Amino acid sequence: MVRQRRNLVTELPGPRSVELERRRTAAVARGVTSTFPVYVAEASGAVLVDVDGNSLIDLGSGIAVVSVGHAAPRVVDAVRTQVGRYGHTCFMVTPYEGYVAVCETLNGRTPGRHDKRTALFNSGAEAVENAVKVARHVTGRQAVVVFDHAYHGRTNLTMALTAKNQPYRDGFGPFAPEIYRVPTSYPMRDPEGMTGEEAAARAIEQIERLVGAHNVACVLIEPIQGEGGFVVPAPGFLPALSAWSREAGALFVADEIQTGFCRTGDWFACDHESVEPDLITTAKALAGGMPLAAVTGRAELMDGVHAGGLGGTYGGNPVACAAAMASVADMEVGDLSAAARRIGTTVGHCLASLQQTHPGVGDVRGRGAMMAMELVRPGTLEPDADATRRIVRACHRAGVVVLSCGSYGNVIRLLPPLVIDEGLLDDGLAVLAGAVNEVLTTPSR
Ligand code: PLZ
């Protein structure tokens, strides 16, 4: 167990990290980048220890993955035990209980008490692809409706579903056809006072006019957008879209890959407005750091696909399944939804007080342990990506890992492990506040 405190013994990145970065440049493809090139040697809870012996506070959780903390003991034990028994058989060849147990757990935990079925995959993008496969197969329709600022992955189909050109799509076309993008609900940038229902009506009008309701296989949406900037839709937006989808005979598919598993203070972000998606995609926090993803949905829909129509060599790998059972157990035992709500209160206070001091903090939003601030030129809605970069860099130099996001690169998001202790979170937030004060009061831009 690594001591849960921040402690710097070199500048960041330190000499060993710099040396590794040199090797990396000569070996790793340039297309794969790192936000903060500090090389990790060990981690536990909410602390990363780098190869130079520095202890950093992790407020990113490997992009919302290690919600149960780094090297969570229950997960580590489950992985060790499983890998010692067998590491792979391929569920499509000779099955094992762990896969079934994860599906039972997801069927029980995801929104809605209806009969469900689940299929397991390796990555979030793969889960989204399979949700679209199911939706097209069972509806016999082709059109997929997605939203401005959406992020769903980097494979060919999911690149097409993702909104932002740089860095995700640029030069990687042609993209999959029959994808239609409509406006989302983005309260900060929507007309003043626009309700969730009005934003939904704006989207629906476009769907009906440009696509035709009877052509829509599914409406695919992140209930709170992740990469797009932690955009929380106005209340009523999701329920209205879900109701319209039902009426139109289209599936309502929630991508809860980033929002799922206690992150927002509920098991799933859809729970907040009692929305019951027909299909839900999960990944990230599901398996506490092992690669695992899932599509869960109404039994009659999931079972509408012919036998053999879904699968993959590694999907639902036994080690990843063991990690998932342990990670979900940690969430239950530790009541990590409550922890996320507590974190949300603490982070919310910090960000709100920064917003009061600095007109450059244009918006503070999020839910539970998924909070963010959007930076703008004071007095405008003009995104300030430069200040965002400088604040992130200042946090990094001080040993606090924070991430940016947003279509305009001007959102700083906080995704701490849900097991972070209060003192450590306070220290991380103090560093962030210091960085914001420094950057937003320095006029040299
Ligand atoms: N859907 C909502 O957040 C992954 C991507 C980081 P994979 N988000 C982090 C990057 O730059 O690649 C994500 C998500 C939502 C789908 C995905 C895709 O999940 O496991 O990365 O394929």
Mean pLDDT per block of 10 residues along the chain (445 residues) reads 96 98 98 97 98 98 98 98 98 98 98 98 98 98 98 98 98 98 98 98 98 98 98 98 98 98 98 98 98 98 98 98 99 98 98 98 98 98 98 98 98 98 98 98 67
Distance 85 CA to ligand 1 centre (A): 31
CB within 8 Å of 328: residues ≥ 6 apart:
105, 109, 261, 286
Ligand 1 pocket check for 415: Cβ under 6 Å:
no
Residues 107, 125: Cα–Cα separation, whole Å: 20
Ligand 1 pocket check for 319: Cβ under 6 Å:
no
Phi, psi of 370 (to 5 degrees): -130, 75
The 3-state DSSP class for residue 151 equals coil
Residue 236: how many CB atoms within 10 A of its CB? Answer: 16
Distance 386 CA to ligand 1 centre (A): 24
Name the residue of 33, 146, 151 whose CB sits within 8 Å of the most ligand 1 atoms, as the mutation to test its pocket.
Answer: 151
pLDDT of residue 1: 82
Distance 358 CA to ligand 1 centre (A): 31
Q: Do the Cβ atoms of 143 and 108 come closer than 8 Å? A: no
pLDDT of residue 358: 98
Tell me which amino acid residue 11 is: E
Closest-lying ligand 1 atom to the alpha carbon of residue 63: 9
- DSSP characters over 351-389: HHHHHHH-TTEEEEEEETTEEEEEEBSTTS--B-HHHHH
Ligand 1 pocket check for 225: Cβ under 6 Å:
no
Q: Do the Cβ atoms of 400 and 27 come closer than 8 Å? A: no
* Nearest residue (CA) to ligand 1, atom 3: 258
Ligand 1 pocket check for 124: Cβ under 6 Å:
yes
pLDDT of residue 375: 98
CA dihedral 258, 293, 203, 225 (to 10 degrees): 10
Ligand 1 pocket check for 263: Cβ under 6 Å:
no
Question: Which pair of tokens denotes residue 287?
Answer: 């398996």
Residues 304, 227: Cα–Cα separation, whole Å: 32
Ligand 1 pocket check for 222: Cβ under 6 Å:
yes
Planar angle of CA 35, 69, 102, nearest 5 degrees: 105
